[in-house]
Amino acid sequence: MTTEKAMFGAGCFWGVETTFRNINGVRNAAVGYAGGKTENPTYEDVCNADTGHAEVVEVEFDPSVVSYNQLLQVFWANHDPTTLNRQGPDVGTQYRSAIFPYTPEQSAAAERSKAEMNQSGKFRRPIVTQIEPAPKFYRAEDYHQRYLEKRGLAHCAI
């Protein structure tokens, strides 16, 4: 089985991880930090909002079962990509909407998907999701991995 990786930032990573983990064809999902300037950031570093990192989920998937385009549709459907540096009650650059493509093909698909979503009329405001080549992924501390699952929760209460 061949797998690929995808990386998304869509607010607090706990719920995003659970959403992607529950998709058929996703082999693994890990929460972490990406897109900032600090090497090996901690959760506390990122929460201070001065590292430049976003809370992200790195998704390992089997493209013969679920396509990158399908993952993009899940991404758009499960957060508000029109709010700059905010998702629900969470505010700060670490909660920004972001797609970090690993390949030129993923980058093209992400840009195309963003344009289609902007034109779809689904959102009343323009999409502010940033799309940048995948930077280094820093895996979050173990207590953040499968956070909701460990607590018997299906989703974050907002």
Split into its structural domains, the chain has a count of 1
3-state secondary structure of 12: coil
Lowest mean pLDDT among 19-23, 49-53, 117-121, 124-128: 49-53
Residue 47 annotated as catalytic: no
Range of the domain at 80: 4-150
Distances from the Cα of 74 to the Cα of 8, 20, 148, 152, angstroms:
10, 8, 19, 22
Q: Please report whether residue 20 resides in a domain.
A: yes
Contacts of 104 (CB under 8 A, 6+ apart): none
Catalytic site residue from 6, 7, 10, 12: 12
Q: Please report whether residue 144 resides in a domain.
A: yes
Buried b / exposed e along 111-131 (16+ C-beta atoms within 10 A): eebbeebbeeeeeeeebbbee
Domain at 65, CATH number: 3.30.1060.10
Q: Please report whether residue 17 resides in a domain.
A: yes
Q: Please report whether residue 158 resides in a domain.
A: no
Q: Whole-model pTM?
A: 0.94
Q: Give the single-character DSSP code of 14.
A: H
pLDDT single digits (tens) 88-113: 889 999 999 999 999 999 999 999 99
Q: Please report whether residue 157 resides in a domain.
A: no
